[in-house]
Structure 1
Amino acid sequence: MRDLIPYLKLYRRHWFGLTLGMLLGLATLLAAMSLLTLSGWFLAASAVAGLSIARETFNYMLPAAGVRGFSIARTAGRWGERVISHNATFKLLADLRIFFFRKLTPLIPGRQTNLRDADLLNRLVADVDAMDHVYLRLISPLVIGVIALLAISGFLAWFDPTLGLVLGCILLTLMFTLPVIFYKLGQKHGETLTLAKAGFRIRLLDWIQGQAELLLFNAEPDYREQTLNEQKSLLLAQRRMAGLTGMASAMLMLATGWTLVLMLWLAADGVGGTTPDPMIALAAFATMASFELMMPVAGAFQYLGQTLTSARRLNEIIHAEPDTPFDPNGHQANVKGDIRVESIHFTYHGSEKSVLNQVSFTMTAGEKLALLGRTGCGKSTLLQLLTRNWDPQQGQILLDNVPLAQWQEASLRNAISVVSQRVDIFNGTVRENLLLAKPEANDEELAQTLTQVGLQKLLEGNGLDTWLGDGGRQISGGERRRLGIARALLHDAPVMLLDEPTEGLDRRTEQQILSLLFEHMAEKTVVFITHRLVGLEQMDQVCLMDEGAIIERGNHASLMAQQGRYSELWQRI
């Protein structure tokens, strides 16, 4: 149960709505039990009165009004309880998703989040949804059940203490034994059900999103078969949980029947020491009505195993420590753009091979540096270290003579614009994707930036309201690349890190984009990664990397004069 503590703390924000929902739920339950009890007594009393002289004096109006009143109260209370409790629960789940996402963001990238996208999505959606069981199926039914149990037992005890005490003891015993029994029975199945949901979602998304590649390599039938196997596991787990639900209902019906027989036997000689009369029907119907409060109690603990498994999966993220923690009170300043890399050494977690080894260089504000080298030599990793997605195991990186580890995160992020190899496009409009870089930008500025990067076609039709689709499915790879460059232009930070910004673009578009970038970067500090030997003459420094180290460094002219590896590259083209 300790796994639920972080989520129970969030309940304090919505205590009023949750408490009001429980009160309305209690009022609805009491109205339902009162309706059935009063109806049973009224029918029996009316029948007896109709067979005797009491039919002339029996008050038919008051009990009939009570039946109508309780019926209306039950209907209105059920509607109000659903509206209030579900509204509070949905707000609680929204807060929980925000809470989870805020805990997740600092962990990326990091070894704790080395998870599939589908698994993270499952935790954010399905596992968070499972947390509503804590209130709707655990806390609320137990609190309402205990109060209603005392109320119905006290009501019967007012007429006959023996009947009230017997019914109270039976209900109390069931309330504390059935949940334990069904928690033990459902614990393993609940865990299996949660993991089966996660496995099925992961496999299904892999199958759907990878259709083109799977068909190309003739692997689609195997993936479809694996997806169907995951589906079978999920259906089996759901069938077992449904079986437990049916068993709980059967046990409650059996307990209701035997308790009713016992109560009728005790009341057969009269209720409260009187001769047998319609009060026997009142005791019988009150007994049947009292078991209505038991229905949600058994199911509450049946799904507790599923809820606890979801909580543990969420806690794996929530309690994880980021690999690069930031001090919220860290250094803040207007950045000039001086960068100093001092003998950094970096190895990825779980790997024995160094990615970067004793890399050092210095850049003054406004200086331009190009990084060259074959794939896997550590260029992109160096950019990850410059943005402090990772920290080097040895050495340090300083921005304006302040180590990156001492900077406040927001200040560091505002100081750096990044165009990475992978441009993430969110399932939204063009405007929404651009405002991520500059939230205060107006439509005119956004349109101008799109025109600068050659995306004026996106302004046709719906314009900035054009829907880009999941991952930018509505646009080409080159357009996604240029949309990432547009974000960097809008962010307008003093330091720019460009990782293959023109990859996938044709020669003409590449020249246009490079001209735009060099114009925009005139006064900025720039680190430029490229495989293509273009624009290097305008760089203040060119560093050629191999095996995680800088093997040649200088400007274009000096490196050409050295007749080394850099010169060989130019002679090949």
Structure 2
Amino acid sequence: MSGFAVYHRLLTYLKPYWWAGLLALLGNIIAAATEVSSARLIQYIIDAINQQDQHAKNLFPLLIIILIFFRGVGSFVGGYYISVIARSVVHNLRVEVFDRLLTLSPEYYLAHASGYLSSKIIYDVEQVAFASTEAAKTILKEGLTVIGLLGYMFWINWRLSLMLIIIAPLVGFLVRKASKRMRKLAHQMQNAMGEVSHIVNESINGYTVVKNYGGQAYERERFRRASAENLKRGLKMVVTSGLNSPIIQLLMAFVMAAVVWIALRPEILGATTSAGAFVSFIGAAAMLSKPLRALTDVNEKIQRGISAAHSVFEMIDTPPEEDQGKLVKPLVGQITFEHVGFSYSDNTAALTDINLTINAGETVALVGRSGAGKTTLINLLMRFQNISSGQLLLDGVPIKDFTLESLRSQIATVGQQVILFDQTVRENIAYGQLSNKSDAEVRAAAKDAFADQFIDALPQGFDTLIGASGMSLSGGQRQRLAIARALLKDAPILILDEATSALDNESEHYIQQALTHAMHGRTTLVIAHRLSTIEQADRIVVMDKGRIVEQGTHADLLAQNGLYAQLHQREFVDVVTSND
């Protein structure tokens, strides 16, 4: 997308605020008119002095006060309503980008670090404000001032004023060359800022590892390099902008010098021109310098904004997560994998020819070495990834026929990595679609997850804020809140991924009882590395290298003396060794 196309699209966000634009235009017209009136006022007082007009001289102080008053009113009105547009555009863009972020596929999140995504919302959108409004403010105010001053000068002497138009093509060429350079640098600055944000996010989220392993010096140096790269790009942009403006100003100085030199020749300016008109013309020419300098300097803001807008629109235009399903219906819970295969974008196979039927209400455990494909199988069921071959059926219906909302609303999950939010305990349990659950239901879910006792001991009980990621709670407490959330959802399909990994032995005993209660009547898939936790499963499916190699009850698999028996024996030896 070209810079013009980006800027044109950006301007469409201003349409709802046309009324504010009209008021901003009116205010800037008033402010620009006062600039022209300043030159006219010079002519007024000089002619009054030459003509010994005492009444005009007495009126001059009042005219100055009136001029300054209207300049203040115009500047305030113009600046305020431009700011209304600016902040509204930033707000709307941020909301649109965040809305798109919530609909993007899991693959997009895997391909883009969180620091880069947050940088788009925080930094890039803010830069867009300069292109859409702050730059527009300068162009509007200073542009109207230039037009007004030139109009006044043409009114006094149009032949002389034409000289100022001669350099317009050369100025346009310089601005265009500088624009390309600054847009490229602005894009590089955005990438550098994304890297800075990424490092900060990693250091904050992993502060325990940083401190425990003495990574402060490494992280400090990594941040310093990223920040230095951002500084380098920023200084290059300053150099480009800094050279562009003085060069244009120098060109203007030559032309202005020529105008003044010629204006000092009465035979050129006109014999009938009064001294006041002569001084007013020179004053108007001199007053052009400030708005012209502002107009040349604003190019940097525009290029920053266009580059940032390109980045923002790129995210907005990213297709949302594919959801072609139209079926919305309650699930019983039967899951069927028919010759299912899955490969990553580089054609690396993660699952091969998976054939598995899980009956409604059955508890099936998935075991195997790391990388066997257990999590990938779950991701396909949640449609975080889409199958490459074969067919995945729910109650005999292809999974793609269901809407994503209908599908995911009927699957509850408890993972090894618990995700909590900087909200109250109640809001974390009754999250999202569960927010309409009653207080009694929330408390019952917490009780079933054996979380009610530690919650009641908190300062404000269920209304206690738990901090970012629930860091004010222990690992076991966080996991019990996640289990309570899953119990509150009361979905026909339950997925447990190492759901008891962060619990102590006593808590695990109670949680196992709670999970046994939760699994009753539900189709449950359990991923477990500790085989002792899944011995009571209706069926155990053993996976290796993306394939199902064994399945049966705990006793059956031990009798087969295959991979499961090896894994079980190894875990038994590890437990005995650790106890010794």
TM superposition score category, shorter chain reference: 0.7 to 0.9
Residue 76 of structure 2 corresponds to residue 74 of structure 1: no
The total of aligned residue pairs comes to 564
SS in 2 for 1:355: strand
Q: Which moved more, 1:203-212 or 1:222-231?
A: 203-212
Measure the CA separation in 1 of the matches of 2:562 and 2:188. 61
Q: Which of 277, 280, 287 is equivalent to 1:289?
A: 287
Closer/same/farther in 2, CA of residues 18 and 474 from structure 1, 3 Å limit: farther
Residue 191 of structure 2 corresponds to residue 195 of structure 1: yes
- Offset at residue 207 of structure 1 (A): 4.4
Q: What do residues 57-112 of structure 1 show as CA deviations (whole Å, max 9, x unaligned)?
A: 43532x54443233222223323333322222222222222322333334342167
In structure 2, the partner of 1:426 is 421
Q: Calculate the TM-score normalised by the size of structure 1.
A: 0.87
Aligned-residue RMSD, C-alpha? 3.2
Q: What do residues 206-226 of structure 1 show as CA deviations (whole Å, max 9, x unaligned)?
A: 445445434544543233223
In structure 2, the partner of 1:469 is 467
Letter in 2 for 1:513: I
Measure the CA separation in 2 of the matches of 1:454 and 1:74. 69
Letter in 2 for 1:20: L
Closer/same/farther in 2, CA of residues 343 and 262 from structure 1, 3 Å limit: same
Q: Which of 126, 132, 135 is equivalent to 1:135?
A: 132
In structure 2, the partner of 1:118 is 115
- Offset at residue 538 of structure 1 (A): 4.7
SS in 1 for 2:465: coil
Map 1:264-303; keep pairs closer than 5 Å.
Answer: 264-268=260-264, 269=266, 274-303=272-301
Q: Which of 149, 153, 159 is equivalent to 1:156?
A: 153
- Offset at residue 307 of structure 1 (A): 3.5
Closer/same/farther in 2, CA of residues 42 and 210 from structure 1, 3 Å limit: farther
SS in 1 for 2:390: strand
Letter in 1 for 2:336: R
Letter in 1 for 2:117: L
Q: What do residues 469-527 of structure 1 show as CA deviations (whole Å, max 9, x unaligned)?
A: 33332222222222222221222222211111111111221122222222233222221
In structure 1, the partner of 2:575 is none
Q: Which moved more, 1:382-391 or 1:212-221?
A: 212-221
Letter in 1 for 2:357: T
Measure the CA separation in 2 of the matches of 1:401 and 1:96. 42
Measure the CA separation in 1 of the matches of 2:420 and 2:538. 33
Q: Calculate the TM-score normalised by the size of structure 2.
A: 0.86
Residue 366 of structure 2 corresponds to residue 371 of structure 1: yes
Measure the CA separation in 2 of the matches of 1:431 and 1:74. 55
User: Contact 1:106/1:325 (CA < 8 Å) preserved in 2?
Assistant: no
SS in 2 for 1:504: coil
User: Contact 1:187/1:303 (CA < 8 Å) preserved in 2?
Assistant: no
Measure the CA separation in 1 of the matches of 2:80 and 2:135. 18
Residue 336 of structure 2 corresponds to residue 340 of structure 1: yes
In structure 1, the partner of 2:176 is 180
In structure 2, the partner of 1:96 is 93
Letter in 2 for 1:337: G
Q: Which of 499, 506, 509 is equivalent to 2:507?
A: 509
Measure the CA separation in 2 of the matches of 1:431 and 1:27. 55
Q: What do residues 505-556 of structure 1 show as CA deviations (whole Å, max 9, x unaligned)?
A: 1122112222222223322222121222356455332212222222222334
- Offset at residue 125 of structure 1 (A): 1.6
SS in 2 for 1:40: helix
User: Contact 2:28/2:78 (CA < 8 Å) preserved in 1?
Assistant: no
User: Contact 1:34/1:70 (CA < 8 Å) preserved in 2?
Assistant: no
- Offset at residue 447 of structure 1 (A): 4.3
In structure 1, the partner of 2:32 is 30
Residue 416 of structure 2 corresponds to residue 414 of structure 1: no
Residue 395 of structure 2 corresponds to residue 400 of structure 1: yes
In structure 2, the partner of 1:230 is 226
User: Contact 2:31/2:70 (CA < 8 Å) preserved in 1?
Assistant: no
User: Contact 1:468/1:475 (CA < 8 Å) preserved in 2?
Assistant: yes
Measure the CA separation in 2 of the matches of 1:248 and 1:75. 31
Measure the CA separation in 1 of the matches of 2:130 and 2:308. 11
Residue 351 of structure 2 corresponds to residue 349 of structure 1: no
SS in 2 for 1:487: helix
SS in 2 for 1:110: helix
SS in 1 for 2:383: coil
Closer/same/farther in 2, CA of residues 178 and 78 from structure 1, 3 Å limit: farther
Measure the CA separation in 1 of the matches of 2:221 and 2:323. 45
% identical aligned pairs: 26
Residue 464 of structure 2 corresponds to residue 484 of structure 1: no
- Offset at residue 390 of structure 1 (A): 0.7
In structure 1, the partner of 2:578 is none
Letter in 1 for 2:496: L
Measure the CA separation in 2 of the matches of 1:60 and 1:400. 94
Measure the CA separation in 2 of the matches of 1:537 and 1:208. 39
Letter in 1 for 2:366: L
Q: Which of 78, 81, 84 is equivalent to 1:84?
A: 81
Closer/same/farther in 2, CA of residues 17 and 362 from structure 1, 3 Å limit: farther
User: Contact 2:434/2:488 (CA < 8 Å) preserved in 1?
Assistant: yes
Q: Which of 512, 536, 542 is equivalent to 1:544?
A: 542
- Structure 2: runs of 5 or more not aligned: 573-580
In structure 2, the partner of 1:16 is 18
Q: Which of 226, 237, 252 is equivalent to 1:241?
A: 237
User: Contact 1:541/1:555 (CA < 8 Å) preserved in 2?
Assistant: yes
Q: What do residues 389-425 of structure 1 show as CA deviations (whole Å, max 9, x unaligned)?
A: 1112111211122212222121112121122222222
User: Contact 2:420/2:470 (CA < 8 Å) preserved in 1?
Assistant: yes
Closer/same/farther in 2, CA of residues 43 and 482 from structure 1, 3 Å limit: farther
Closer/same/farther in 2, CA of residues 304 and 266 from structure 1, 3 Å limit: same
- Offset at residue 564 of structure 1 (A): 4.7
SS in 1 for 2:496: strand
Letter in 2 for 1:44: I
Letter in 1 for 2:93: L
- Offset at residue 378 of structure 1 (A): 1.1
- Structure 1: runs of 5 or more not aligned: none
- Offset at residue 127 of structure 1 (A): 1.8
SS in 1 for 2:459: coil
Measure the CA separation in 1 of the matches of 2:469 and 2:213. 23
- Offset at residue 136 of structure 1 (A): 2.5
Closer/same/farther in 2, CA of residues 191 and 557 from structure 1, 3 Å limit: closer
